[in-house]
Amino acid sequence: MLSETSMLGCRAIDAPIEVNVKLLSDQGEILDDPDRYCRLVGKSNYLMVTRPNIAFVVSVVSQLLLAPRTTPWDAIVRILRYLKKTPAKGLLYLDYGYTRVLISQMLIG
C-alpha cells in the first residue's frame, strides 16, 4: 500500500488517528480520484483482520466512501504512516487443524 501511494519514504508516526479529530462527510475538497481512496480503504478493511489497532479509524474512513474528500484522504494517509512505523505488529493466526486455531501476537525484532 505504501508503494502504491508513493509513500515508501514517508515519515512514520506513532498513532493511526489524531486525538479528538472529527471526520465529517462535508470537510475538505472533493477528491479528483475517488477510486484511489476506495481502493485504499478496501485494502485497509482486509488489513484490520490482523491489525485490530486500526479497526476504529478504518471504520470511520469507510463511512465516507460516498463522496471522498481531502480530509478523509489525510486520515487514510495517516493510517499508512502508522503502519510504516509498526510493520511487524499484528495478530498471527496459526492453524492446528480443524479443532483449534491459535492466535498469537506477532512481534518481530
Decide: pTM greater than 0.85: no
Q: Which domain holds residue 3?
A: 1-109
Structure confidence by residue, pLDDT tens digits, 40-91: 999 999 888 888 888 989 998 998 888 888 888 889 989 989 888 887 777 7
Q: How many domains, in total, are found in the chain?
A: 1
Task: Give the DSSP letter string of 1-55.
Answer: -TTTTT-TTPPP-S-SS-TT----TTSSPBPS-HHHHHHHHHHHHHHTTT-GGGH
Asked if residue 78 lies in contact with residue 12, where contact means CB atoms within 8 angstroms, the answer is no
Residue identified by cell 490482523 is 50
